[in-house]
Structure 1
Amino acid sequence: MKKTKFLITTAILGIATFVAIAADHIDAPAVDGGGTSSLSDITDFYAFQGASGNTIAFAANVQGFLSPGSTGSATFDENIMIEINIDTDGNAIEDLVIQAIPRDGKMYFFGPFPANSTNLSSTIGTTAANQGSVDITAYGQNAIVETVGGISYFAGPRDDPFFFDFGQFGAILGGTASGFNNPGTDSFAGTNVLSVVVEVPKSMIGGSGSVNTWVETKRKQ
């Protein structure tokens, strides 16, 4: 794959030690809830320790509010790169990145590798030592997972895992409610997202696994 410049369209921040969650459905300034901009919409970002204790999993979800009827035809946009940024020294500047780019039914991964840029544009890390790919799992099929060099990869549709009560949130903003109900109503129940998941040995990202991490989507220019 040739080196191509990508420019940022939307971003979301999370802080990861053992478990971190950040979510933002159609709230970024460049996302209007429809058209091509919604294809780059980041809905959730999760970072958590793997079952063995020696890895960290990063899970980035895009294209929220997919109904079961439309999920089968939903696809990752080949002009959009998902870039996971990892800050290992606490200065809120990425030291390592992991890039995910879809092509012809596969998701290609590059990294983690040292960030070649800390501004709004990025170049595909085609010379990165860590590279892998996985077939994108089709809707309704068993998850396809590939492991290369100790790094595991997945890409495909999943049930939206984020729980949020939009109705109650609106009531709080409108002054007709003072707080959320327990458990409230899951506004995302029955909807899907497209997910990219990378599980990386801690030894590849600083050893302790205590990092700051955030995800960006960047459109090809």
Structure 2
Amino acid sequence: MTAITRTGRTGRGRGSVALLACGALAAAGLAAAGVAVLEPQSATASSHREAPLISGQPQFDNTDVYAFVSPDHPDTTTVVANWLPFQEPAGGPNFYTFATDARYDIHIDSDGDAQDDLLYRFTFKDHRKNENTFLYNTGAVESLDDPDLNFTQTYDIELLRLEHNKVVSTHKVAESLPVAPSNVGKASMPDYQALRDQAVQKVPGGLKSFAGQADDPFFLDLRVFDLLYGGDLSEVGNDTIRGYNVNTIALQVPNTYIQESKEQPVVGIYSTTERENAEGDWTRVSRLGMPLVNEVVNPVKDKDKFNASSPEGDGDFLKNVTEPELPKLIEGIYKIKAPAEPRDDLVGVFLTGVKDLNQPPNVKASEMLRLNTAVKPVAEPKRLGVLDGDTAGFPNGRRLTDDVLDIALQVVEGELVGSKNDLGDAVDANDKEFGAAFPYVALPTAGSDTKADGKATKSDATGLTGGMSSITASWDDNTVMLVSAASGATGVLLVVLGVTWLRSRRHPARESWLG
């Protein structure tokens, strides 16, 4: 119990154990499936700055992909893909734009053969009204066509149909759709919700589209990379993505458009970014499907290769998956015994889909989200998804509310092979509520909201599990006293965090699919 308690001191972050866990979990799965991935190495959030080349190209860096049956329109599927991580909201005067020399692509595999059947492509253009000012906006902005919004972007959508990875047709779905701007601040954009609403566009064929800035929906404590929370879990308790924004592309598509048939409703979904070079050729520089794979599963030598690859070639990364490093790291630091290898238990979760849930017939193991579009959404989603008996959640697709790190941590530590556990990182939800309608992502934090009043916006302690929930941290005298007391009694604080983190949360419903 001592070792588990030590492991449990993860506070409110998707941290050390958890972050690495998801990666190893994906890795192990790839391994058993004959689709290798890689060893954990340094990185950051889901795909935030996960590879050497892409970390220097944030406009092209795809951070997360979500795919779920739309809760308010269950005859449709919504895909949310995010780019350009760690946007400081007040980071002007050159705020955050989509690249104009990029192709932002959403890929659909309708039959499980690891090859694209459909591809939705988004390309962007810049527009500036006045070149003789440095300002993003020259006054209060009340609409997307407001003369005071000096800088704007528009985008086109193309639909490419493919056979055996060859394009057989291209169709312009929409053009010159408006992009929601960066949320400069309350003075500049007093009603940002109105701007968001105007950027939600109906597209012919029953589709909806959105592109623009949003709150980053991923939640975790990135200090995992400081030797697994300092090596002794002394660094815990911060959702370090809180307060940062991303650029979001969201697309809602009728299920019948992407399904192979009603009898075969499972689709594979992932996203990529291609960049145009000086000769006019296009190179894939980012790829993302399942969360956390490239950042904490692939070793540095394979990260850029993975970003440039396609799912049908995932067998190239096999070796490092059959013997994943993550469980060994956890065992070495926190004394939780690693499950026996090879990790065949993880194949269904991360590579092929779970049998009788989201595994298409004759599936070829490959890394992408797999969604059974015939599974209806639930009124009250459970954050642990399928592990808690909620088959509409991860790993059946990925909803914004799914706690993929807790799910991954429990599975990588043997949940599927008899080592029942309730491990988690105590970061159970995003700091902002998600919307009830498309595009569902929360509004971006405004530039005027961050640190303007001297309060901590990314490091308060509210939301810690159990008895810690009454603590409110801010940069005032009380907080200084709290921090001082904590630093003087680290052991007590860690015990409290460990106990709350380890609080038993059994989920009998999971037996229905674990067998």
TM-score, normalisation: structure 2: 0.34
Change (3 A) 1:53 1:214: same
**Equivalent residue, structure 2, for 1:55:** 76
Q: Which residue of 1 aligns with 2:108?
A: 86
Q: In the TM superposition, what is the alpha-carbon distance from 1:129 to its structure 2 partner? A: 5.9
The 1-side partners of 2:180 and 2:246 are apart by 13
In structure 2, relative to structure 1, the CA distance for the partners of 1:38 and 1:139 (3 Å cut) is: closer
Residue 177 of structure 2 is aligned to residue 130 of structure 1: no
Cα offsets for 1:55-79 (capped at 9, x unmatched):
1111111110010112671111100
Amino acid at match of 1:134: L
- Measured in 1, the distance between the counterparts of 2:172 and 2:124 equals 19
- The match for 1:103 among 92, 103, 125 is 125
Give the distance between the partners of 2:213 and 2:85, measured in 1 at CA. Answer: 10
**Matched-pair contact (CA < 8 Å) for 1:133–1:146:** no
Counterpart of 2:143 in structure 1 is: none
State the structure with more CA Rg. 2
1:115 aligns with 2:158: no
Mapped partners of 2:112, 2:272: distance in 1? 18
Map 1:31-70; keep pairs closer than 5 Å.
31-32=54-55, 34=56, 37-50=57-70, 51-70=72-91
Q: How far did residue 132 of structure 1 move?
A: 4.7
CA offsets per residue over residues 69-123 of structure 1, 9 Å max, x none?
A: 1267111110011111111111221111110111131121112x3137839xx89
Evaluate the alpha carbon distance shift between residue 162 and residue 26 of structure 1 in structure 2; reply closer, same or farther with a 3 A threshold. Answer: same
- Judge conservation of contact 1:23–1:45 (CA < 8 Å) in 2: no
Q: CA 1:116/1:157 → structure 2, altered by over 3 Å: closer, same or farther?
A: farther
Task: Report if aligned partners of 2:201, 2:210 keep a CA contact under 8 Å in 1.
Answer: yes
Alignment check: 8 A CA contact 2:111 2:266 kept: no
**3-state secondary structure, aligned to 2:232:** coil
Q: Residue by residue, what CA displacement relative to the aligned partner does 1:105-163 show, whole Å, maximum 9, x if unpaired?
A: 1121112x3137839xx89x7x4163355200112333111112211111111111100
1:195 paired with 2:248, answer: yes
Structure 2 distance, partners of 1:155, 1:131, is 13
Structure 2: distance between partners of 1:204 and 1:132: 20
- Taking the aligned partners of 1:47 and 1:191, their CA distance within structure 2 comes to 22
C-alpha separation in 2, matches of 1:89 and 1:117: 12
Structure 2 unmatched ranges of 5 or more? 1-25, 27-44, 127-152, 184-191, 282-515
In the alignment, the residues of structure 2 paired with residue 117 and residue 98 of structure 1 have an alpha-carbon distance, to the nearest angstrom, of: 17
Q: 1:134 to 1:174 in 2, by over 3 A?
A: same
Q: 1:170 Cα shift?
A: 3.5
SS of equivalent to 1:83: strand
Contact 2:115/2:164 (<8 A) preserved: no
Shift of 1:174: 6.6
What amino acid is aligned across from residue 137 of structure 1 in structure 2? A
Q: 1:89 is aligned with what amino acid?
A: D
Q: Is the 8 A contact 1:77 1:102 kept in 2?
A: yes
**Displacement of 1:29 after TM fit?**
3.8
45, 48, 51: which one aligns with 1:25: 48
Q: Show the counterpart of 1:77.
A: 99
Q: 1:152, 1:161 → 2: CA distance?
A: 20
What is residue 147 of structure 1 aligned with on the other side? 202
Between the aligned partners of 2:84 and 2:65, the Cα distance in structure 1 is 12
Between the aligned partners of 2:211 and 2:155, the Cα distance in structure 1 is 7
Letter in 2 for 1:106: T
Answering whether residue 252 of structure 2 is matched by residue 204 of structure 1, we say: no
AA paired with 2:162?
Answer: A
In structure 1, list runs of 5 or more residues that go unmatched.
1-12, 14-21
Q: Which moved more, 1:23-32 or 1:152-161?
A: 23-32
How far did residue 200 of structure 1 move? 0.5
Counterpart selection for 1:216 from 272, 275, 300: 272
Q: Distance in 2 between matches of 1:115 and 1:131?
A: 19
Please state which structure has a larger fraction of its residues in helix: 2
> In the alignment, which residue of structure 2 is the partner of 1:165?
221
Q: 1:214 to 1:55 in 2, by over 3 A?
A: same
Runs of 4+ in 1 over 4 A off after TM superposition: none
Equivalent position SS for 1:69: coil
Aligned partners of 1:66, 1:129: CA distance in 2, in Å?
31
SS of residue matched to 2:116: coil
CA distance in 2, matches of 1:116, 1:110: 17
Q: Secondary structure at the match of 2:224?
A: helix
Query: Conserved in 2, the CA contact under 8 Å of 1:86 and 1:213?
Result: yes
Whole-Å Cα distance in 2 between the matches of residues 41 and 27 of structure 1?
9
Q: What's the CA shift for 1:190?
A: 0.8
Residues 174-185 of structure 1: matches in 2 within 5 Å? 175-177=231-233, 184-185=237-238
